[in-house]
């Protein structure tokens, strides 16, 4: 796996390109502008990865000093006949791309000034996996425990703590990890998966056959699955999100067009639901705000992402508090910033990742512009005020995540590799 750092070239004129609004003139091409990023690094793995997750480390929270170190785990989609792998990664010496202003430099340590002279380093340990990996997640409470959804229809729990420690502090680089549990009870492969942040070790999985299962640890190190699956969806379960505050409450999004809120103590039917959350389109992705816990964001095949107030789900016809129609293709990933309650990032099949600040108030003073307000920004060719940043340069973007301990840093995976970046619209401490 290679790490590339984009180098700036002299430009006679710099113009802002607005995807979906502007066209690239014939014979011209867009160029990377390093001034748009505080940090930008590109990784090109041997095989593309549909999914990855940051591994929480012991280096502290709210880290702002460069160079950064991050740990991650990813799952490959190898060519037919080639072995697939769980890749445990350490990225070190991730230096800033843009030089800080004179005022900002006064607040930095002197040894921070020459970070651009340090080459970034990538180290990784690969672990064999049965089948391509549709989704992979690290447990928040025990980051070395990862869950993976195989394209062959099984869910695997694997302990990669030894590999993380080897990358962090050195030691034997064992390519065989400890297998904790395997579940083969889903009728089909799946993509939906989420660890609870409240109940340690509690895992949700949902499959293309519409089944949802809960898995949890037992005494003595064993794991068990609730064999009574939820069958409330009539199509593929695309996304699952545990409540950030409740042990037994979770949300699901489905290709049947619905978003539902469930309680594991009552499997018969959801507590609340919206049957056509994105009209007649599939609901692909969803994210539950961990700070403002009544806000839920969803993204659909229609290219629209919506923000819902869960307190309105009890109404006969709940409406989103806002909807954004900037993207021109299905939404493939969405996530609230864990370090900023109003920040949201969205990836689409139009090869864009957009970063939004929903604290920007509209004329009516509402958080995100009032009920059902369409903030697409197409009228009069103006950008929506909530849109902070558009990241491009990757093809077929599949997933994004904010780093939970390094404010403002985003990692994205696509058909052509990973990007790790921090937009210049987010300041060094994470504030806009």
Does 123 fall in a domain? yes
Amino acid 111: pLDDT:
46
Is 430 within the bounds of a domain?
no
Torsion sign across C-alpha atoms 302, 306, 310, 314: negative
Domain that holds residue 204: 33-423
Half-sphere exposure of 31 (CA within 13 A, CB side): 13
Q: Tell me, what's the pLDDT at 379?
A: 45
Rounded to whole angstroms, what are the CA distances from 24 to 11, 37, 180, 347, 394? 16, 22, 51, 21, 17
Give the per-residue pLDDT at 99. Answer: 56
Which tokens belong to 238?
Answer: 């695309």
**Cβ-Cβ contacts under 8 Å for 28 (sequence gap 6 or more):** none
The verdict on residue 279 lying in a domain is: yes
Neighbours of 290 (CB within 10 A): 18
Domain assignment present for residue 62? The answer is yes
The one-character DSSP state at 34 is G
Q: Full-prediction pTM beyond 0.85?
A: yes
In a domain, 404, yes or no: yes
pLDDT in tens, the chain (432 residues): 666 655 545 555 556 666 766 776 777 777 778 899 999 999 999 999 999 999 999 999 999 999 999 999 999 999 998 999 999 999 999 999 855 455 554 455 444 555 556 688 999 999 999 999 999 999 999 999 999 999 999 999 999 999 999 999 988 899 999 999 999 999 999 999 999 999 999 999 999 999 999 999 999 989 999 988 888 899 999 999 999 999 999 999 999 999 999 999 988 889 999 999 999 999 999 999 999 999 999 999 999 999 999 998 878 788 999 999 999 999 999 999 999 999 999 999 999 999 999 998 654 444 444 444 454 444 444 689 999 999 999 999 999 999 999 999 999 999 999 999 999 986 555 544
Residue 11 falls inside a structural domain:
no
Residue 83 lies in a domain: yes
Residue bearing tokens 């705000």? 289
- Report the pLDDT value the prediction gives residue 367, as an integer from 0 to 100: 44
Q: Which helix (H) or strand (E) covers residue 51, if one does?
A: strand 49-55
Distance CA(320)–CA(226), nearest Å, equals: 33
Number of structural domains the chain divides into: 1
Angle at 315 between CA 310 and CA 321, to 5 degrees: 50
Q: What is the pLDDT of residue 262?
A: 96
CATH code (residue 418): 2.130.10.10
At 1 the three-state DSSP class reads coil
Q: Does the residue 23 lie in any domain? A: no
């Amino acid at each position: 796996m290679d790490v590339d750092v984009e180098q700036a070239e002299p430009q006679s004129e710099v113009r802002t390109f607005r995807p979906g609004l502007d066209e690239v003139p014939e014979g011209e091409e867009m160029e990377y502008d390093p001034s748009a990023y505080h940090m930008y690094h590109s990784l090109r793995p041997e095989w593309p990865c549909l999914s990855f997750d940051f591994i929480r480390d012991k280096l502290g929270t709210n880290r702002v000093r460069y160079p950064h170190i991050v740990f991650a785990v990813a799952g490959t989609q190898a060519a037919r006949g080639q072995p697939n792998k769980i890749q445990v990664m350490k990225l070190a010496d991730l230096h800033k791309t843009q030089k800080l202003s004179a005022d900002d430099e006064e607040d930095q340590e002197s040894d921070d000034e020459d970070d651009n002279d340090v080459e970034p380093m990538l180290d990784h340990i690969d672990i064999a996996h049965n089948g391509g990996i549709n989704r992979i997640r690290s447990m928040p409470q025990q980051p070395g425990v990862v869950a993976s959804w195989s394209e062959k229809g099984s869910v695997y729990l694997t302990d990669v703590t030894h590999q993380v420690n080897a990358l962090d502090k050195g030691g034997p680089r064992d390519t065989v990890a400890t297998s904790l549990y395997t579940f083969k009870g889903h009728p089909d492969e799946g993509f939906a998966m989420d660890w609870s942040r409240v109940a340690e070790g509690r895992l949700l999985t949902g499959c293309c056959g519409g089944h949802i299962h809960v898995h949890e640890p037992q005494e003595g190190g064993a794991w068990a699955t609730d064999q009574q699956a939820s069958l409330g969806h009539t199509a593929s379960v695309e996304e699952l999100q545990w409540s950030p505050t409740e042990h037994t409450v979770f949300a699901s999004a489905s290709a049947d067009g619905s978003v539902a809120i469930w309680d594991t103590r009552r499997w018969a039917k959801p507590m609340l639901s919206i049957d056509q959350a994105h009209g007649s389109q599939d609901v692909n992705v969803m994210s539950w705000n961990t700070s403002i816990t009544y806000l839920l964001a969803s993204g659909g095949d229609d290219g629209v992402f919506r923000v819902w107030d869960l307190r309105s789900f009890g109404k006969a016809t709940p409406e989103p508090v806002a909807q954004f129609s900037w993207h021109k293709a299905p939404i493939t990933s969405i996530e609230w910033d864990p370090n900023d309650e109003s920040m949201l990032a969205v990836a689409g099949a139009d090869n864009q990742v957009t970063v939004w600040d929903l604290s920007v108030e509209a004329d009516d003073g509402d958080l995100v512009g009032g009920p059902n307000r369409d903030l697409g920004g197409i009228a009069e060719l103006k950008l929506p005020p909530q849109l902070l940043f558009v990241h491009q340069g990757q093809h077929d973007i599949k997933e994004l995540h904010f780093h939970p301990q390094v404010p403002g840093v985003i990692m994205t995976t696509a058909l052509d590799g990973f990007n790790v970046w921090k937009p210049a619209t987010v300041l060094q401490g994470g504030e806009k």
